[in-house]
Structure 1
């Protein structure tokens, strides 16, 4: 992708994301300090928001697909996404900062990450479960989007006990997926 201009990459990335989530309607949350400045100086990824894919908002980073510094996962280069039922600053801010982590480590669907220190006080969410949230091609390269789904401590424990697929199915069956609800009850597993 190095021979393409940044404008070509921007257009191709937006086209790919809109093919997955519908028109963005130019809903962009620009970081006050650009991503390329680095996280040490407070930089964060820009976030595009999509309001036509689900009842709520899909927020997606817009810095990683086509970024040669990112360590690709099995989706290829990938962006991070988080979904909320209504306007929410916490989730987009989290993935905007978490984007830097993907330059140092590979995040794969099915993995979890503890985020207790990063959640608002009183939140029942203590971790993220990463899930495949769409695949696309950008300038001839396979790419994807990794959903960052907030889960409770009990759900994290079940995932670590090898019951991740059961947790994922219950999150979907009980209407939690794809949303990160900061103040929700733990899912009920089937007997």
Structure 2
């Protein structure tokens, strides 16, 4: 069983308030998987087994750098980076990306040192930049984090024209004779 993080806990608490319950147990479940193994599929829970198209779309891996290469303005690139960070943070704390406020401190959604390390590792794995755990815990917002690391990420983008130039150069190198290659290497 996974822990329930602050955002999901508050959503569950809002649902429980106002009900005449003396006890409540709240747990996370992968309903499509759970109901797959349930014989007879009770009608009361069938709606939980249906996967929302939006949720399935969110699970697709997107290439940050290809999206940034297509972005035309700095503002658009910054928005893409903020969305990228928000997606990773939401995935890590098991919350909806839309529930995150980009201008509030990341620590306000229940990020502790372990979760901050997980966020840092996911960001590093996906875009090869190092985010400070101190930043994540020190009250920085997603918008500020994107601004702080904008140049780090922007420097890693291969523009479409650069990619075409690189492809042309590689084609030229493949067509060189051994003597021409040796001559170029000796320079």
Query: TM-score category by the smaller chain?
Result: under 0.3
Please state which structure has a larger fraction of its residues in strand.
Answer: 1
The TM-score normalised by the length of structure 1 is 0.25
Determine which structure has greater relative contact order: mean sequence separation of CA pairs < 8 Å that are 6+ residues apart, divided by chain length: 2
In our comparison, the structure showing a higher alpha carbon Rg is 2
The TM-score normalised by the length of structure 2 is 0.25
